Structure 1
Amino acid sequence: MASAGPSNRKRHRHPGSADEDSHRKRAMTKQRECSCKSYNLYMLGVVGGGTKRSPTVTNDFQRYDFEAKKWSQARSFMDGPKRTRFAVATRDDAIWVLGGVVEKPGTSGGVQIRYEKSVSTYNRYLGHWKPRSAMKNTRADFCAVVLQGVLYAIGGEGTDRGAEHELITRNSVEVYAGGGTWHLIPRMLYSRSSFASCVGGGRIYVAGGAADGDYKGSIEYYSTARDQWTYVAARLPDAFPTSFGLAFVNEKLAVVNGGEISVISTDMTAADSPKSEISVASSQPPFYDAFALDGELYMVGRTAKNSMVLWKCRPPDNTWEELPPPLSPSDSNVMRIALIKIRACGNED
């Protein structure tokens, strides 16, 4: 499908109630007047116990203040059935939760899995959730990112007509730039689910994942200027897991996989391989998610006792700092989390 590129699309804000508009205007005015440059990290939907296909889900919703170095419980998570395997991003100063799966009892005593295409946003000033326009396709184990103010829902797996139909691993990509409508843009070169994605240098990078039981070690990126996906010559290591972190830091891709952190140059040739430019001490826990902020690499992991941890690394000099741990239960066996960073300004929750 040809596209003029999402960066050229006009953005439109849905009109809200008069009361909500008044609150929003006061909040935005306060934000413009504030010179605060700290960020908040939100963590949603921690899963404790079970397996990927049959997890025990909690609607946990907590916030980390980078300036105060303190975690707190945010206001309640979305109403309705608990979900997992969703994606999360931030756009227009709001938290967007997209897709995922909801489990409910089946008619014969089993469990029925419903794949979602619904979308909800959290207004951190008003402290409530709001349903938004649904995506065109159901998606789970996918990625959502924002580039140049446009929200992208990328890949994943889903069904075309509900839980009773065949599961599909998608390479489709849809975008939301406002106006209440999602639009399809050019597809990825590979179908992927359970992969990693990040934004950097004006591009969207995706790496790894699986499709039909096969591991995908390839890396590709989307350029809004060209409106197409392009391979990165370098590949992930063989037998790479489908649960890892990807971040763009200092003009390179950092791949976080358990006790290893590899750095990939986006202009590497096929003969090159990822390099371990960041050292991880044996005493540090395995990391499985990552994001970059102001040239520093933040990683989430878990200890031998399954307690969640948050660490920070400064890549140039390879210095580490352990940050206060999240408020999650210490008995979690499987933890699926969503990390988002929002510029903080004033009291939020």
Structure 2
Amino acid sequence: MLSKSHGEGLLSRYQSLRQDGRMCDIILEAQGKEFPAHRTLLACSSDYFWSLFQEHTLESRARTVSLPAVSSTGLELVLDFIYTSWISLSPSTLEDTLQASCYLQVTHALDLCTEYISNSLTLDNCCFFANVAARYSLSDALAVTSRFIARHMAGLLGASGDRSGLLELNLDSFREVLGSDEIPGVKETALLQLALDWLSCNPLPALESNSLLSRVRFGLVPPEDLNHMSSLNLPLRTPFIHSLVQKALHYHMQVPLQPLIQNVHTSLRATTNMVLLVGGGAEAERPQTQIQSYNQESRKFHVLPINMVKKLQYQGVCVVGNFLFVLGGEVVEVDGESEKTAVMTVSDQVWRYDPRFERWEEMEPLLQKRAQFSCCVVEGVIYAIGGRGQRGEPTLSSVERYNMSAGCWRSGVSLPHAIHGQACATIGRGIYISGGIHGSQPESSKEVLFLNTSDDDVWIRRSSMSIARFGHQMAAIKEKLYAFLGMYEPFCDIECYDPKQNQWTRLKPLLQDRFCYGLTVTPGGCALMFGGRKWQDGQEVCIHDVLEYNPEYDSWRKVCKLPHPLCGTQCAQMSLQELIER
């Protein structure tokens, strides 16, 4: 059995003895102030006193011990801790306490100082606490303060921030902050300027200056800014840093190749993948240019600061090298007066969104205009498969691949027949497509086709789905395919395909029909379904539910709601710099 009160009572009795001046066998002196104490308790609480009061030392028999290395304030606070387990900390007394705790080797008091720093961080004091942590080698507190400064850099650089504190930051903290993967709301140009300002206030040898500046991600700085800042700042003209700047300038010139040549200097300071909801709208055939991002951890939606160039539906969407590609689709131009009529024009345009600089760039167009086609990526190669041209025109059987090295589209292995409205997913180097409508057939299909892109010679038929589907979606989860609902299906069944067994299995259905939704797979292996349309009281209505399907338990649950009803959106996942909520 253990008595917790015994230890507390023992300390309490020692404190009473100290306050009454009873049985004290040692006097500690600091800055002319004396503190009576008990050798045994000091020796048990401090490695310094344990060594000092050994039998062979002069101090073991001394009545008074002078401690010139500590302040009276620090000694008093540490003694209070030794006798009570409590310590009173504030920014004004922190360094006195740390000085005494370090010198006297009272490790538990140092732990409380680390905890105090970690729990007391604000924009006003974080730089001060970081310097204190560095001065007294508090590694845990140093790591916490560095993370805090990086996460709140936007506020520190703002009008009411503490830029002067940043310029006085110790080298270890500043180096750690510059190397952080998470600095939300701050452009890399601002970080580069801060680093140059810090170096002007804290000159370093060339080797250390190079080490510090190498943590700046020069590929995220616009080329015009790089050239201008290099001409004005000597630290950017050392051979090593000059080579990094030249590599960044060369990267900016390699526009088609950029998704394939990503490295740490061109990657956003963001570690969380966001789900992008590209296009779609609150009603059928009325898409908007807005793009929303969804954070899977916070379950919050944000609107991106830049819209798509055109209103599109039935477009292809994919991500390569953290660039968003939007391919083809049907451009919708609504009559500005009545808004009841719209002109639909199938496009061959390819747009690329770069989140580093929040801009769209038009890339090499598709070989053919396509809508309701399949779009996927295999080892950095984008595939556009089947689909249809303008309404009333023949369906397509052609396949094309985007060669980023050459910056152009090239023909791939054609499908055995024309098809549109099919679903697509990839496993490894294999592409699977299912369902859709073949040629001018009136009915949707159950057929499944497979292409091994390593061989790249012919599409192979695999076991058919149990349900004919059109306008549906597929997802690859843990080496299996899952086919979800399509347009106007009489049932709400989903099914799973095992490539090893070449077999489909029906799974738990949705409780209600749903089509024209967005679909993506989470890192944890669940499928997220965003919005869509359903039948209600004899008419189609747009919905704003977000559902999650867990294949491990074959279960559905409602996760959250979209800010507004949404249908016809396409999903992709990529890293975005976190937005700062003000």
TM-score by length of 2: 0.48
Counterpart pick for 1:262 among 495, 504, 512: 495
2:298 aligns with: 68
1:18 aligns with: 223
Say which SS state the counterpart of residue 506 (structure 2) adopts: coil
Change (3 A) 1:232 1:125: same
Displacement of 1:346 in angstroms is: 4.2
Displacement of 1:276 in angstroms is: 2.1
Q: Structure 1 CA distance, aligned partners of 2:268 and 2:301?
A: 26
Say which SS state the counterpart of residue 47 (structure 1) adopts: coil
Q: For the Cα contact (< 8 Å) 2:526–2:551, is it kept in 1?
A: yes
Q: Which has the higher contact order (CA 8 A, sep 6+)?
A: 1
Identity %: 18
Displacement of 1:316 in angstroms is: 1.8
2:362 aligns with: 131
Displacement of 1:195 in angstroms is: 1.1
1:276 aligns with: 506
User: What letter corresponds to residue 142 of structure 1 in structure 2?
Assistant: F
Superposed CA deviations along residues 300-338 of structure 1, whole A, max 9, x for unmatched, are: 3447663222222331233544323223x33x6xx2111
Q: Structure 2 CA distance, aligned partners of 1:308 and 1:30?
A: 39
Counterparts of 1:145-294 in structure 2, within 5 Å, are 145-158=376-389, 167-178=393-404, 179-211=406-438, 212=440, 213-238=442-467, 240-257=468-485, 259-268=492-501, 274-277=504-507, 279-280=508-509, 282=511, 286=514, 288-294=517-523
Normalized per residue, the structure richer in helix is 2
Question: Would you say 1:78 and 2:283 are equivalent positions?
Answer: no
Displacement of 1:118 in angstroms is: 0.6
Q: For the Cα contact (< 8 Å) 2:289–2:311, is it kept in 1?
A: yes
Say which SS state the counterpart of residue 505 (structure 2) adopts: coil
TM-score by length of 1: 0.77
Question: Would you say 1:340 and 2:575 are equivalent positions?
Answer: no
User: What letter corresponds to residue 41 of structure 1 in structure 2?
Assistant: V
Q: For the Cα contact (< 8 Å) 1:186–1:229, is it kept in 2?
A: yes
Q: Structure 2 CA distance, aligned partners of 1:113 and 1:64?
A: 29
Q: For the Cα contact (< 8 Å) 2:287–2:568, is it kept in 1?
A: no
Q: For the Cα contact (< 8 Å) 1:45–1:59, is it kept in 2?
A: yes
Say which SS state the counterpart of residue 324 (structure 1) adopts: strand
1:59 aligns with: 289
Displacement of 1:91 in angstroms is: 1.3
Q: Structure 2 CA distance, aligned partners of 1:152 and 1:299?
A: 23
User: What letter corresponds to residue 101 of structure 1 in structure 2?
Assistant: E
The runs of 5 or more residues in structure 1 that have no matched partner are 1-15
1:47 aligns with: 281
Q: Structure 1 CA distance, aligned partners of 2:400 and 2:542?
A: 35
Question: Would you say 1:311 and 2:547 are equivalent positions?
Answer: yes
Q: For the Cα contact (< 8 Å) 2:278–2:291, is it kept in 1?
A: yes
Q: Structure 1 CA distance, aligned partners of 2:579 and 2:399?
A: 32
Q: Structure 2 CA distance, aligned partners of 1:92 and 1:67?
A: 23
Tell which structure's C-alpha radius of gyration is larger: 2
Q: Structure 2 CA distance, aligned partners of 1:289 and 1:59?
A: 16
Superposed CA deviations along residues 218-267 of structure 1, whole A, max 9, x for unmatched, are: 111221211034334311234x2312110111221101116322111224
Q: Structure 2 CA distance, aligned partners of 1:308 and 1:189?
A: 38
Change (3 A) 1:199 1:48: same
Displacement of 1:103 in angstroms is: 4.1
Q: For the Cα contact (< 8 Å) 1:42–1:64, is it kept in 2?
A: yes
Q: Structure 1 CA distance, aligned partners of 2:510 and 2:333?
A: 43
2:558 aligns with: 322
Q: Structure 2 CA distance, aligned partners of 1:158 and 1:19?
A: 41
User: What letter corresponds to residue 318 of structure 1 in structure 2?
Assistant: D
User: What letter corresponds to residue 64 of structure 1 in structure 2?
Assistant: Y
Task: Please report the RMSD computed on the Cα atoms of aligned residues, expressed in angstroms.
Answer: 3.3
Displacement of 1:67 in angstroms is: 2.7
